[in-house]
Structure 1
Amino acid sequence: MRLHLITPENSSFQTLITTIPPMQDDFDMLHLRLHYFSDQKLLSLVKELRSKSFPDSKIILHDRPHLVAELGLPHVQIGFRSPRFEVVKKRYPFLQIGVSVHSLMEMEQAKEAEFFMLGHIYQTASKPNKQPLGEKEAKQIIEAVHQPVIAIGGIQPAHIAPLHQIGFHGVAVMGGILNADKPVEALASYNRARGELDV
């Protein structure tokens, strides 16, 4: 069960470069979902992470394939703020493309994606007025595709086991870790839950 760490909406440059590198061995992928950062600020952030020995292989930059290509990163994540999947795939065929989706219909529009991020699975403060998919509907969606699917939305350590059981390849966590009072301890609680899985 892979653990993807996503930058919260209120992330600052300094907080990210201070908090994330010391934890890099304890999660699998870092999603830089920072739509309010300028291109130049994102370039500077990635360069700063590199200076702290954070591996390119763990970085997934959201919405800006042109920056991913410029930086020589392998992964891009696209969603509603991004160019369409087929446009990105045609222009940047060398990139591994993850797609953020909310339904099977959206998955079918990006059949060549490397993986999907599906949500929101549980109720979350970031989407208080939207009904979550829930585990039952998520399971039906997962069973209809062959790519790995990552769960996102309201995920707590107690959700790791049931999400693994219904077929998720991993989980993506945002506020539950980086917005916690003690991010290192919060991350450890998710990893304890991962460690208890029957693999």
Structure 2
Amino acid sequence: MIPKLHAVSTGKQSFEQLLKISRDIDPYVGAIHIREKERTARELEMLIEELKKDVHASKLIVNDRVDVAFASHVKGVHLAYHSLSVQGVKAHFQPLIVGKSVHSIKEAQEAEQTGVDYVIYGHVYPSKSKIGQTPRGLERLNQVVRSVKIPVIAIGGIMPCNVSEVLSTGAHGIAVMSGVFQDENPLQAAKEYDEQLRRWSDTYANTL
């Protein structure tokens, strides 16, 4: 089962801050992505081992570093365009679920054909991490969702107030970076995103 709320680290927190935030938000998020591009494999391994004392390994996803994800026995790995191939990861690291970042219908369809478990698509709204870049918007998100059968996770500028309109496109869930990890109160932010997802789920269930 692919989680609906993904919290993605930004690479801007200290080791201690990242640990504290991850521990605090654990009850309210489905997945915590360790996206720490500047850290070494050894640093990532140490970080994950500390996290696993309080955060279940089934919630941890490592970005790009397949070796670290596999050696640390976490839930999965999230790949970028420059990462190892999905086929290679699936063939040699079978316990891992594999996600991939995509930015178009074509990329989403190609990712699906390679056997990826889910894709993250964005950025949907203006984002602090994509300053000056035009957001792709809800209509394109909907087109991506309709073009594949695998779960599509939306990312980019998503706030609690617009969770419902993102999910109305058919997106499986949302991924948040600065909205949680750089918020003044990460715990409260995670609670608010979780509440909005639950409200959407309850409302949708009542319409069936």
Give the TM-score normalised by structure 2: 0.90
The residue aligned with 2:25 is 23
The corresponding residue for 1:196 is 199
Between stretches 4-13 and 86-95, larger displacement belongs to: 86-95
Q: Is the 8 A contact 1:86 1:110 kept in 2?
A: no
Which of 160, 163, 166 in structure 2 is aligned with 1:163?
A: 166
Distance 2:20 2:75 in 1: 24
- List per-residue Cα deviations over 1:152-189 (Å, max 9, x = no partner): 00101111101111101110011011111111122222
Question: Within 1, Cα distance between the matches of 2:33 and 2:39?
Answer: 14
Alpha-carbon distance between aligned partners in 2 of 1:114 and 1:3, rounded to the nearest angstrom: 16
Matches within 5 A, 1:98-113: 98-111=99-112, 112-113=115-116
Structure 2 unaligned runs (5+)? none
> Pick from 22, 41, 44: which aligns with 1:42?
44
Question: Alpha carbons of 1:93 and 1:192: their partners in 2 closer, same or farther (altered >3 Å)?
Answer: closer
| Post-superposition CA distance 1:94-137 (Å, at most 9, x none) | 32111111111112222211001001111112111221110011
Alignment match of 2:6 (pick from 4, 13, 16): 4
Pair 1:13 & 2:15 matched: yes
Taking structure 1 as the reference length, what is the TM-score of the superposition? 0.93
139-148 or 9-18, which deviates more: 9-18
The sequence identity of aligned pairs, in percent, is 28
More helix by share: 2
The one of 141, 146, 156 equivalent to 1:153 is 156
Cα RMSD (Å): 1.5
Aligned residue pairs, count? 198
SS of structure 2 residue aligned to 1:132: coil
